[in-house]
Structure 1
């Protein structure tokens, strides 16, 4: 056991946490056959069976359950060492991983990345476009842009100016169906929403728009896909105002309506925040997001 290969342990732990070989392989950026070979090698090293296949699912054996607890502790210790080492880095170069929702990744980050490239050409920015909250503690990302405040004490969160959300539709769509003048006029137009839109519907109802859940014509969990549906003229929907800037062929609906606001938090791990390259990117992101989200007028 003293000569075990840590890569094999990582493969085992990722499979336990992700629940399947394919998901674990994606997490570790390996091919599935490579991951399978690493787990088989670990089983040979230890002389035990770690997983049993039940139908299409993998289930831990009793021995695998016992080992998983120990490997989690080892993984947590390795993460702490990695965080501490990264946090002490004085180089203003290297990779910085930013995670944010897909529409921000596509519509907001590119111009910010251009500015960062000019300020620190040695930094490589890796964008993780995800609507899920990635675990900064597990180093899935270095910096996160979130719309909820994190609760973990190990994380530093800095609140940016709130995002403003408005209603938008394609010009050609409005030319065809007519432009709503009052909130009640919106009831006749197809709305593009999300699978779970209760809070959004409540916000729109409070602004006089008589929208009900069963009236949503198009639904998608991806903000970026919804934005494309809006731009393609499928109906009207919401979007962050900073993501709409300089978008041709799209108009605001009821522009005088009070915008929906969403808090915006910039988050990093405490130890990573002492890294010069992380700090540089963190501060540049804050400055740019603050500039973009200043109230107009």
Structure 2
């Protein structure tokens, strides 16, 4: 039995409507006319013989099938982008696009000096940064290289272990003078919200239950911004905190995160990707 495949040019329209919530939003991003996006959606529904959206006066509402298909559409588009990256550069040339994924903190505070060095060593390489705290799937070519704080589990990956990243408690100078663990109980603290990791880590070193939590947020980048603004005492990478001019609070608290730099084994043979991988491997230990 043959299966009818949707034309590939309909998938970006579907993905964009799902992402941006409307035909007009998708049209702006794709650079298409709104009626064209509508035709692509209708053609995809006809081809698949299923409804993807329900129409109402206030716009489009995705169906259950649309939510089911969305991760597959994302994977198809990532593979298409990877095809374009590979096709735009010669395998042995230091030119073309290399896509790197990392956490938002690393993308903001750690990678820029490495990218500056890359501009010096290989100016014909263009870097794409996917700044996300969600692990990107290298097997599906969502990125060429990943910087991760969890062990790689996918097959066919080349992983280079980096030195563990040390985390500590930091604050601006005016808030950093805390005399002992007990005093931390009433100090202004910045904790995570729903992840619930920082509180147990503090309890493990004997810090009493915090009584003065001034901010809860699961976004590490936002936590660091709040620490630098003097909102309270929070967790930050030790080397990053030094560069930001923060002061260590109670050095007895230290958490270490294992780190890896990962590339798909097929991509590791491409010169421009290998060059970026080797540069990251050499420079990240000094930055993180």
Q: Report TM bin, short chain.
A: 0.7 to 0.9
Deviation at 1:43, TM superposition (A): 4.5
Closer, same or farther in 2 for the Cα pair 1:225/1:208, shift >3 Å? Answer: same
Query: In structure 2, what is the equivalent of residue 125 of structure 1?
Result: 127
* Equivalent-residue separation in structure 2 for 1:119 and 1:258 (angstroms): 39
- Say if 1:103 and 1:243, in contact at 8 Å, map to a contact too: no
Which residue of 1 is the match for residue 229 of structure 2?
A: 232
Residue 182 of structure 1 deviates from its aligned partner by 1.0
* Contact 1:192–1:226 (CA under 8 A) maintained in structure 2: yes
Tell me what 2:96 maps to: 94
Q: Where do residues 279-290 of structure 1 align in structure 2 (5 Å cutoff)?
A: 279-290=274-285
Change (3 A) 1:41 1:172: same
TM-score by length of 1: 0.77
SS in structure 2 of the partner of residue 225 of structure 1: helix
Cα displacement string for residues 250-296 of structure 1 (whole angstroms, at most 9, x for unaligned residues): 211113x1521001111122211211111111111111122345xxx
1:252 counterpart (244, 248, 253): 248
- Pairing 1:57–2:61 present: yes
**Any idea what SS the aligned residue of 1:189 has?**
coil
Distance 1:252 1:273, change over 3 A: same
Q: CA deviation at 1:238?
A: 0.4
Q: Which runs of 5+ in 2 are unaligned?
A: none
Indicate how the Cα distance of structure 1 residues 130 and 148 shifts in structure 2: closer, same or farther if over 3 A, else same. same
Match status 1:144 vs 2:140:
no
Aligned pair count reads: 275
Gap change, CA 1:110 and 1:3, over 3 Å in 2: closer
Alignment TM-score, normalising by the size of structure 2 = 0.79
The answer to whether the 8 Å contact 2:79/2:141 transfers is no
CA distance in 2, matches of 1:47, 1:191: 53
Superimposed CA distance per residue, residues 42-98 of structure 1 (whole angstroms, 9 cap, x where no aligned partner): 446x4945424177631167xx899x69x87x9499669939956982221112121
The answer for unaligned runs of 5 or more in structure 1 is none
CA contact (8 A) 1:21 1:35 kept: no
Asked whether the equivalents of residues 50 and 60 of structure 1 are also in contact (C-alpha less than 8 Å), the reply is no
Q: Call closer, same or farther: CA 1:88–1:23 in 2, change over 3 Å.
A: farther
Q: Is the CA contact 1:100–1:128 (under 8 Å) kept in the aligned structure 2?
A: yes
Higher relative contact order (CA 8 A, sep 6+): 1
Q: Distance in 2 between matches of 1:266 and 1:84?
A: 20
- 1:198 is matched with 196
Q: Please say which of residues 134-143 and 79-88 is displaced more in the overlay.
A: 79-88
Determine helix, strand or coil for the equivalent of 2:244: coil
